[in-house]
Amino acid sequence: MNAASTPSPVAVIGLGSMGYGMAVSLRRKGFAVSAFDVRPDVASKFASEHGGKACGSVKDAGAGAAIAVIVVVNADQTEDVLFGSGGLADALPKGALVMSCATMDPERARRLAKDAEAKGLLYLDSPISGGAQRAAQGELTVLASGAPAAMSKAEPALAAMAAKVYRLGDEAGIGASFKMINQLLAGVHIAAASEALVLAKRLGLDIAKVYEVITASAGNSWMFENRMPHVLDGDYTPRSAVEIFTKDLGIINDMSRGTKFPTPVASAALQMFLMTAAAGMGKDDDASVARLYAQITGTELPARKA
């Protein structure tokens, strides 16, 4: 690979289930990746297994990077990574690109973009969808919006991490808005799928057969098909945790109040996730909503196989 085609150095901040896979996908395409995570052992694992560089701080990861991919939980963490003490805004060179991947209120995305641009940085509002497996395969969906210069600079990294990139507009906040619509539907579908499958069990039906029938019928959804096998297997290892949807549906609830637009179905789903978290399952897989229905109704679900 000659110097002209050498990929830009990238910093990845946050090596959770999505960020780790994204960092791996970048390395697979030849990017030099400097990574930071609050768990040093995870960053060290990435370095030893995939040839990236494990960094001891956000500032160290960002030093000299042309692109910084921030894959943290929420807007507050994103803001701290960017503008907190030792943050990226003081480490990245002028003209570097910030890709913000956390799900957040669109207004927060617009404000972060404005503050980043005031520091001489490009900002791409780039929430992601697809799960850990697709992240590791470089097959995410990215809902991107931002200035044309930011979009252009992101292209090579996006090609490494995503199978689908939707270019949704020239302003930050548009991508975040699209992601919130997705999360509204995703949360409602998980709650509805959980309710339906536990009701089926309560009715004495073979829920494995219910799964087979529904996934071939009009009542199917991507979330039913993807999440209900976790219930059938009794395996609630978190692929996507309950607390993600208490956060995201909570944002939708706030947006509903702020825009005076009613979201009663999303609000009902939020309550189911909140009750599941309150029952001690907040860090478990989001299919644990089914376990809450089972606890409330005294319905026995499959136990995890040894």
Closest CA to 231 of 193, 205, 281: 193
**Alpha-helix runs per DSSP H in the chain:** 17-28, 40-50, 58-62, 75-83, 106-118, 131-137, 148-161, 174-202, 207-214, 222-233, 242-259, 264-276, 289-297
Joined together, the tokens standing for residue 24 give 């791996």
Kind of pairing between the strands at 122-125 and 140-146:
antiparallel
Per annotation, catalytic residue among 59, 179, 201, 247? 179
Query: CA 273, CA 282: separation in Å to the nearest integer?
Result: 8
Query: CA 127, CA 117: separation in Å to the nearest integer?
Result: 19
Please say if 179 is a catalytic residue: yes
- Please list the active-site residues: 179
